[in-house]
Amino acid sequence: MKRRELVKSVGIGALAAGTAVSAPMVQAKKSFQWKMVTSWPKNFPGLGTGANFLAKTIAELSDGRIQIKVYGAGELVPAFEVFDAVSRGTAQMGHGAAYYWKGKIEAAQFFAAVPFGLTAQEMNSWLYHGGGLELWQEAYEPFDLIPTAAGNSGVQMAGWFNKAIDSVSDLKGLKMRIPGLGGEVLRRAGGTPVSLPGGEIFTALKTGAIDATEWVGPYNDLAFGFYKAAKYYYYPGWHEPGTTIECFINKTAFNSLPTELQSIVKIACRVANQDMLADMTARNNAALQTLVDKHKVEVRALPDPVLSKLKQLSEQVVAEIAEKDNFSKRVYSSYNRFRRQTIDWHRISEQAFLNARGVV
Ligand code: CA
């Protein structure tokens, strides 16, 4: 009996070993046809092209084993439905911004942009080396999604206005397209925030359905032609100091990939995250010059008292999120702790240097 069992188990062992040898070979040939739905118009400069870059990078690194077809907003699903579409598996990947999902996860806003919060460089530090990414993954876990950073806008512009903003009272009654926490701050300042996908902003501004809008920065805003509908272009983007653009992946789809392809997807997102910031930084100033020289846009700074009031309101709004639920409290604590220490360090590094360079 014992001998027979031994022979049998060796036989099974050999068979199992044989399977183990051949399985990776079979898997190595397997290729994956994925869909990526995005919150941006197809090929939109910076954001849509960032999604294309991610898909192309994954295809190249995987030697064509993962092919991803990128869909613009509205092609497969509308801009604000990409989260649900990937969650239920209609597409394997999504490309958007976490603050669009605040109706599902209050704390999601911390993973996109916080008014007077972290810059691009600081956001990446928090996500990769400050515990932020782990919290983000925990936030999306109930939706069977794996999120990660896949782009960054850098400091945005405050937006497009048809009336001068000379004091806080000029914000009263203002109907403005502004998402996330910035929108709530505007509400506290007496305005009415509106959430609209990028592709719908121009018409809303042109027809007067909204009085003002923010989008991203000169490179992106020039592409939408907002200069045809508003005359003042205000800075700085107090509400979005370094917005993280996200890629989220359906968990079942991700788990179906062999380990090396999982690594490729993760590394490609990291490359795309860096590339988008470089793209935006490289092109924003040329676009700004076109807006000013060719389209006669008037660039204006928000007055200090307005920024100061917005900052005060932002602190209230952000702190209140921590009271909504336990998870939000944890995210807020992590983010806020990181913000405090990075402000201390950057005071004598980035900030001191930029101040010094500015006066040379
Ligand atoms: Ca924006």
Does 8 or 136 have the greater pLDDT score? 136
Provide, rounded to the nearest whole percent, the portion of the chain with pLDDT above 70.
92
d(CA 179, ligand 1 centre) in Å: 7
Q: Can you give the pLDDT at residue 359?
A: 75
User: Rounded to the nearest whole angstrom, what is the distance from the C-alpha of residue 223 to the centroid of ligand 1?
Assistant: 14
Q: If you measure from the C-alpha of residue 216 to the centroid of ligand 1, how many angstroms do you get, rounded to a whole number?
A: 4
Residue 174 phi/psi, 5-degree rounding, is: -75, 125
Cα 146 to ligand 1 centre (Å):
23
Q: How far is the centre of ligand 1, averaged over its atoms, from the C-alpha of 151 (Å)?
A: 13
The whole-angstrom separation of Cα 246 and Cα 269 is 9
Between the CA of 222 and the centroid of ligand 1 the distance, in Å, is: 14
CA distance 51 to 32: 18
Give the pLDDT confidence score for residue 18 in this predicted structure: 45
Task: Report the separation in Å between the CA atom of 215 and the middle of ligand 1, taken as the mean of its atom positions.
Answer: 4
- In tens, the pLDDT along 85-118 reads 999 999 999 999 999 999 999 999 999 999 999 9
244 Cα–ligand 1 center, Å: 11
| pLDDT (tens digit per residue) in 9-25 | 444 444 444 445 555 55
What digits encode the pLDDT tens for the residues 277-299? 999 999 999 999 999 999 999 99
Separation of CA 127 and ligand 1 centre (Å): 20
pLDDT tens column, 263-277: 999 999 999 999 999
Q: Tell me the CB-side half-sphere exposure of residue 244, using CA atoms within 13 A.
A: 32
Q: Phi then psi for 192, rounded to 5 degrees?
A: -120, 105
pLDDT of 319 over the 60 cut: yes
CA 220–ligand 1 middle distance (angstroms): 10
Query: pLDDT-based confidence at 327, cuts 50/70/90?
Result: very high
Neighbour count for residue 274 (Cβ, 10 Å)? 16
Strand 212-213 to strand 175-177: parallel, antiparallel, or no bridges (unpaired)?
parallel
Ligand 1 mean position, distance from CA 13 (Å): 58
Q: Rounded to an integer, what distance in angstroms lies between the CA atom of residue 162 and that of residue 110?
A: 30
How far apart are alpha carbons 153 and 151 in whole angstroms? Answer: 7
**Where on the phi/psi map is residue 67: left (φ > 0), alpha (ψ -120 to 50), or beta?**
beta
Amino acid letter, 338: F
Domains of the chain with CATH codes: 31-153+242-281 (3.40.190.170)
Distance of CA 27 from the midpoint of ligand 1 (Å): 42
Mean of pLDDT over the chain? 93
* 3-state SS, residue 298: strand
| Distance (Å) from CA 159 to ligand 1 centroid | 8
pLDDT recorded at residue 251 = 98
Q: What is the pLDDT of residues 339-355, one digit of tens each?
A: 999 999 999 999 999 99
Q: Report pLDDT for 26.
A: 53
Q: Residue 276 C-alpha to ligand 1 middle, in angstroms?
A: 15
Tokens of 177: 């397209």
Q: What is the pLDDT of residues 111-147, one digit of tens each?
A: 999 999 999 999 999 999 999 999 999 999 999 999 9
